[in-house]
Chains A and B, each alone.
Chain A
Amino acid sequence: MLAFIARRLFQSVIVMLAVAFIAFMVFRYVGDPVSSMLGQDSTMADHEALRERLGLNEPFYIQFYHFVVNALQGQFGISYRLQQPVSQLIMERLPATIELAFASASIALVLGVVLGIYTALRPRAFSTGVIMTASLIGVSLPTFLIGIGLIYVFAVELKVLPSFGRGEVINLGWWRTGLLTESGLRSLILPAITLSLFQLTLIMRLVRAEMLEVLRTDYIRFARARGLSQRAINFGHALKNTMVPVITITGLQLGSVIAFAIITETVFQWPGVGSLFVNSVAVVDVPVMAAYLVFVALVFVVINLIVDILYFIVDPRLRDGAKSGR
């Protein structure tokens, strides 16, 4: 188990270095940050001074070394646009994104698993047909359309929920949460639903397919033949076996929810990392883009590691496999 985790950590470091390199290349070669920062009416001397200050005159590998060392300390330089440290910008906005991501992931996971099991256990019911058809619509509609539709119905027509922003927030140390105020929670509802819809349908369809597969296996037949109750079979024996592949997909989906909530955040003007990224792209704010790239990679690497460890906990065959090395 420890050897396995060590191996995975080693792989993660390689992945992170590769991503850091790409981020650095972007940082180094996309556009000319100096001219975009200083504007039209600056002198050559101003340019040169800023280049020196940003360290752009040093050789390539020194710059990469500095980049990695700084990144390890959480230093990604200063945003060209906002003239603030990038790490500070990201940290300020991270709580908003994470709260949104976890809210929508919880909705997706709970509803997805419940509906998946329901539709698997009643494959012929009318309600299953309705759910499956509705889920198809959920997959095929683009996120922004769902977001705009929800805003139109609940914010514009019914006027029950706010259409943008996070509402009131409370500071808990550096973490600014919207979960403790009524307006914060109300603001969370629409974006969370919008963001969760795609994941929900995906998880539901996956759980259903896996569950149908598992219910056909011999050990489920044998469990029936032993006279175990339906409940014990469906929720004890079948569900645990269903969860193995579901964990992987859910983990990766959670990663992409955190990393790519961009569209939802833009539609709802949610002050998270995604909208920071979109605004930075518009003005070629390279340090922010580079830091975002590294951040996204980190999210995926960490989630993958967690998923691998969860596998170990769920599936005893893997535990032994790692021991004997097969």
Chain B
Amino acid sequence: MTEPVLSIKDLVVEFPFRDDVFRAVDGVSFDIMPGEVLGVVGESGAGKSMTGSAVIGLIERPGHIAAGEIRLKGERIDNLPEEAKAKLRGKRIGMVFQDPLTSLNPLYTIGEQLIETIRTHLPLNEAEARQKAIDLLSEAGIPKAAERIDSYPHQFSGGMRQRVVIALAIAAEPELIIADEPTSALDVSVQAQIIKVLKKLCANHGAAVMLITHDMGVIAQTADRMVVMHQGKVVETGTVGDIIRRPQEPYTIKLINSIPTIQRQAGDVTPAEAANDDGAYVQIKHLVRDFEIGGGGFLKLLPGKVEMFRAVNDVSFAIEKGKTFGLVGESGSGKSTCAKMIVGLLRPTSGTITVDGHDIWAGGAGHQERRKRVQMIFQDPYASLNPRWRVADIIAEPMRTLGIARNRTEVEQRVAELLTRVRLDPSVMRKFPHEFSGGQRQRIAIARALSSQPEFIVCDEPTSALDVSVQAQVLDLMQELQDEFGLTYLLISHNLAVVRQMSSAVGVLHNGVLVEKGPTDAIFDNPQADYTRMLLDAVPDISRVA
């Protein structure tokens, strides 16, 4: 039997606090064989990233390895002095981080960063290093690498930057690559390409991969074996197929069940009948939004100087009362711009939006009416709640500004009621947002949206900042509230599985154009537009594991 590239035994990482010690990683053991891709999966706080940091020796202080050992090709590395550890980094262990937008130094060209890294590890002169950098970039799938090498990171798209990051990680031919959520910040179509590039490069260079992710779909497509982590401990280890099809531990079973899939499941919402658009509750007709680019300031006064960018181009759809319409698209497709126009935060260049027959941009009484009827739930529950306000004030604000409830006891009573409806204890209303987890905060955001008694809620990526199991709970809650109050939802998401699970009709947005719309099943099972087909094919899905 060959020796494992990486062998971790009983690893413990601790963070000492004033009166307590927090164990981020608690007795983790696993091996990675040469050329193998090992997936490490778990929800946030499971300790998977911390394990990666421990291997490469980059744990933030005051955290430290308290026990256990890490061996690279049989040689113990966890107790090496700092300089020796630094020599391993990049040379024998490479790392890819989650967010390609922040992983590269914005003030240096990608060439400078590559050449610097190559020359740190390999005895090459400037010209040779430059040639190697160009080769690496072309290998990572960057077209015209020789020309683009002198570009700055901001001149590349997210996917391209992640290719650069992978090229950087592999530059010195390390034996092990730690990829920490390498695709989580990317669109699905880009995600698939990056996984391919990562796999190909590591195979070409014979590097083993430790792939850290919360996305079981990515693991299913990429990894050979997987490790499931929960609260710092390894819950289950095995081949990917075994774990996904026959999970043994209760936690793994729960995790796998909470993953929405783009395949149809029993118990999903019933598809909408072929809807008559004219009678629909929410109608969006020929919606257009232009943005000005270029020629700011007094150049605007000159004619012909202003360039226009059409973010949303003639989008029309309708939503039946009490149903959910899913709007799908990648970043930059104009879905959030649509959401802002529909809730009245951004004035459309042309087109109409009517809710229950009222044009929400008509102004006057319709304006006030719109604010009551239409509410919004935002993506990031960490940023959408005012951190200096108590929960009760946050939830009560729409009631106060819209004059729904005036006196104190009435407001308090309604806040308590709303909290109960989103399955939170009414006593939490005295607390501040930071005292809650992400899922709880999103419940508070939902309670706030409900507090003006709306009939129509626009949900802009309501679960993409949440862990899968929490996502499942929030989606269930949204479903229950819809049944209870007959709410109408516009669900905006890049996550096709979530949309499939929740909506009765779907629209696919690409570069501001609605390329396809129709009942959910029709779109998912029989997509007509090429773009929709490409999008569906790109989704990493655990149900495809052979």
Residues of chain A touching chain B, judged by Cβ–Cβ distance below 8 Å, are 3, 7, 10, 217-219, 221-230, 232, 236-237, 240-241, 314-317, 320, 324-326
Contacts and interface: CB of A to CB of B under 8 A. Distances in A.
B518 interface: no
A219 B154 CA distance: 13
A230 B102 CA distance: 20
Contacts of A324: 293-294
A19 B107 CA distance: 37
A324 B171 CA distance: 33
Contact of B105 (A225, A229, A241, A326): A241
B97 interface: yes
A227 B120 CA distance: 8
Nearest to A218: B102
A314 B116 CA distance: 19
Contacts of A3: 299
Contact of A226 (B99, B102, B171, B297): B171
The 8 nearest A-B residue pairs measured at CB: A227-B90, A325-B294, A225-B95, A227-B89, A218-B102, A226-B90, A316-B152, A219-B105
B368 interface: no
Given A226-B171, A229-B86, A316-B152, A219 B294 contact: no
Contacts of A224: 58, 86, 89
Nearest to B56: A225
Interface in B288-308: 293-299, 307
Nearest to A124: B61
Interface in B315-371: none
B311 to A, nearest CB: 14
Given A317-B154, A324-B294, A326-B294, A229 B106 contact: no
A141 B388 CA distance: 35
B89 A225 contact: yes
Nearest to B112: A236
B121 interface: yes
A300 B294 CA distance: 28
Interface-centre pick from B94, B105, B169 (highest chain A CB count, 10 A): B105
Contacts of A217: 102
A295 B281 CA distance: 66
Interface-centre pick from B108, B299, B307 (highest chain A CB count, 10 A): B108
B116 A228 contact: yes
Contact of B104 (A219, A225, A232): A219
Contacts of B107: 240-241, 314-316
Contact of A227 (B91, B108, B307): B91
Nearest to A227: B90
A326 B95 CA distance: 33
A217 B97 CA distance: 12
Interface in B256-300: 293-299
B449 to A, nearest CB: 33
Contacts of B169: 225-226
A228 to B, nearest CB: 6
A3 B107 CA distance: 23
B106 A315 contact: yes
B294 A218 contact: no
B458 interface: no
A229 B171 CA distance: 16
Mostly, the A contact residues are helix
A216 to B, nearest CB: 9
A224 B103 CA distance: 11
Given A224-B89, A225-B89, A225-B95, A219 B103 contact: yes
A240 B107 CA distance: 8
B13 interface: no
A324 B296 CA distance: 10
Given A228-B116, A317-B154, A320-B154, A237 B105 contact: yes
Nearest to A319: B152
Contacts of B168: 222, 226
Contacts of B109: 316
A230 to B, nearest CB: 7
Contacts of A221: 58, 97
Contacts of A226: 89-90, 94-95, 117, 120, 168-169, 171
6 contacts: A7-B297, A225-B90, A228-B116, A241-B106, A316-B109, A320-B152
B315 to A, nearest CB: 25
A218 B95 CA distance: 12
A176 B120 CA distance: 51
Contacts of A227: 86-91, 117, 120-121, 172
B104 A222 contact: yes
Contacts of B171: 226
A218 B172 contact: no
Nearest to B155: A320
A314 B152 CA distance: 12
Contacts of B8: none
B391 interface: no
Contacts of B294: 324-326
Contacts of B399: none
A246 to B, nearest CB: 14
B293 A326 contact: yes
A228 B94 contact: no
A240 B297 CA distance: 30
B297 A228 contact: no
A288 to B, nearest CB: 36
A228 B108 contact: no
Contacts of A325: 293-296, 299, 307
A7 B296 CA distance: 11
A311 to B, nearest CB: 11
A228 B118 CA distance: 10
